[in-house]
Structure 1
C-alpha cells in the first residue's frame, strides 16, 4: 500500500483510565471510613465486606501495566461498579450521622430550654428553705441526656397542631444548618424565630414561619451543594494526581488549597479547570505513548530512528524515517493531533532522480512490513488497525527529504539568514 490511515490503541491509555477510576475509589473509600468513624457505633460486620472488596481491587491494581488491555478494562468496570456501591453507602451513612448529630443537639437544646424554665420557676415559687430540692432538680435535668420532653415548657398561648409542627420544623432546620456548617452565624435565623414566637396574629405568624422555613431550606440546600462540590473537587484532584505528570501536580496543588476554604464560585471554577486539565494531559500522555509504541515497533523492523525522529513526530506531528535496505525510500509518518487515535503512513522517495519502476515494489514491501508491525505491537499490548489504504502503485510517489537532511538544511538556511542580517 502506498498510503494508509491507521488507528492505534495502546495498553497505557487503558491503564491511565483504570488508574483514574482507582484514584476516585480510594478517595471515596477514605470518605466512607471517615464517616463510619464519626458514628457513635461502628458496625464492623457492615464495613467488612467493603474492606475485603477494596483490598482485592488494590491487589489487582498492583499488577498494573502488565495486564492485557481487556483485563485492564474489566478491572476498571469492577472498580467503577464498586465505587457506585461505596457512594450509595456513603449517602446512607451521611444520613445516619446527620440524624445522630441532630438528635444529640436537639436533646441538649430541650434540656437547656427546660432547665431555664424550671430554674425561673424555682427561683420564683420555691421558698428559700428548700434549696436542696432546687439543686437536685436542676442537676437531674442537666444529666438527663435522653430528655426530649417539652412538657415542662408551655407556650403562653394555645397553638394549633399545624403551628406547633411549623415551629418544630424551624427548630430542626436551624439545628441542621448549624451541624452542616459550624461556622455559620445562626443568630439572624434565631432572632427571626423568636420574633415569630411572640406574634399574636395567627395569619401573620404562619406567614412569617413559612417564609423562615423557605429561607432555611434554601440555605441548607446551598450548603449541601457546596459540600458535594468540595467532595467532587477532592476526588477530581485525586484523578489528576494519578496521571503522575509535572503539570498535573502543579494544577492539583493549586486547586487543593481551595477544597476546604473556597467559595462556591471558586470551587466551581477550579472543578471545571481540573477536569479540563485531566482531559488535556491525558490526551498528551496517551498521544506520546501511541507514537513511541509505533516508533519502537518500526525500529524492530530495522528502520533507523533516533531521538531526533522521536522528538520531531512528538513535537511537529510529522517525520520521515528510512530503512538501510531501501536507502532511497522511506516512510512519512503523520498524526491527527493529540486527541486523535489515528496516524497516517505513506511511502516516499528521497530523490526525483530514481528508478521509478521500484516505487510499486517499495509499496509492496511496506504492505508486508505492516503485517509484521501489527504482530510486534500486539506483543506490546497495542492494537493497530487500518481505517483505509491505497493499493501499491496508486498515484505518483511523493518526494521528501530524510528528516536529518531536512533539519541540517534548515540549520544552514538559518545561519545564512543570520549572516546576511549581520552584514
Structure 2
C-alpha cells in the first residue's frame, strides 16, 4: 500500500508559469512522502529540497523492516511506530512547508490580480470604443436634426406628430406659431377645448385615408391666416397608428389667388364686375328663376353725351368720369346686387328678388344724387345724367328666360330712352 502526500502537479504547473521559475518549481513536491509497503518493508522519506526530486535525502528515515518489529504489533501500531521513528529523527511529520505554501498562494493571488487587470483593461478599451461610437452616432443624429430644422424653416414649414390612438399631437415651435400659438413646441390633446386642438379634430375624418391635405382659415392675433396641413398615416406592426405631417402658411398664396380671381372678374378701370363674369352670374340666376320661381330684374344704363367729355376734356378726364360714376352707382345699390361695366360708358345692374318697379325707385334716387353731385376731373367739374332701360324676369315667357332675352329687352328700352331726350328711365316697351 502506498500513501503519498504532495501538492497537486497542476497547481505547481500554474504557479511555475506565473512565477517564471520553471526549473525550480515545475518538479517540486511536498517535503514528506510516506511509503508503506506491504508486510515486507515500509519507508518514510522526508524531502525538503526540490533539487533532490528522487533518491534518498539526508533527512530520509532508514528503511525499517517489519521483521524487526514485534510480530504481534498491529497495523495501526506499526503506523504509529513509523511516525514515532520519524519524529525522533527530527523530521516534520506534518508534511507541510508553510513558507512555500504562502509564497505559492501569493503568486496565485498576484497572477489573479494581473489577470483581472488585463481583463479590466480589455473591457475598458471596449467600453471606450462603444462610448465613442455612440457619441459619433449622436453627433450625426444632431446634425441630421439640425439640417431638417433648417430645411423646414427655409421652406416655411412646421411639423407635427399625431398619436391617433391617444389623440396627442406634438407640434414644433414654428408649426405652433403658424397655428396661432406661441413660438414654442407644445403637445395638444384633441379631446380638450383648444383652438389648435379643434383644427386637428376637424381632420379626424380625413385620417381614414392614408393621406390628408386640408386648408384651414384661422384667426391669429394679427388678423387671420390660411394654413395648409398635409400628412400621412403610418400603421405599425404592433397595431398602433400614427400620423406625421407639416403645416404651412399659405396666406400669401391665397392673397395672390384672390387677386387673380378679382382681376379675372373685374373691370380694371372702374373696379366693377366685368361683362363676362356678369353674364355667367345672370345665366345662373335665370336658371334659378325657372326652377324656384324667383324674381330678378336688370337695368342697362348709358351716360348721356359722354363723347363730349372725351372731346372737350380729354380721355383721361373721361376715364375719371367713368370711375366716379361707377363708384356712386355701386354705393346706391344693395351690397348683394351685381353692378358691372357693360362696355364703353354703359353699365348693367342685376337686382335679386326685385321687380322692375322696385329697381326703378333705386335708379331714381341715383338720378337725384347726380343732379346735386359734381364729378371732378383734373380741376374740371361736371354734371352727369344717364338713360336707362329696365326689364324683369316676369316679362319673359316660361321656358325662354335667359340672359340674352332679358338684356335684349332692357337694351330696347334703353335705346328708346336715348332717342327720346335722354336722362330718363324706361320700364315698358313702346311699339
- TM-score, L = length of structure 1: 0.23
Higher relative contact order (CA 8 A, sep 6+): 1
- TM-score, L = length of structure 2: 0.23
Report the structure, 1 or 2, having the larger strand content.
2
Rg comparison, structure with higher value: 2
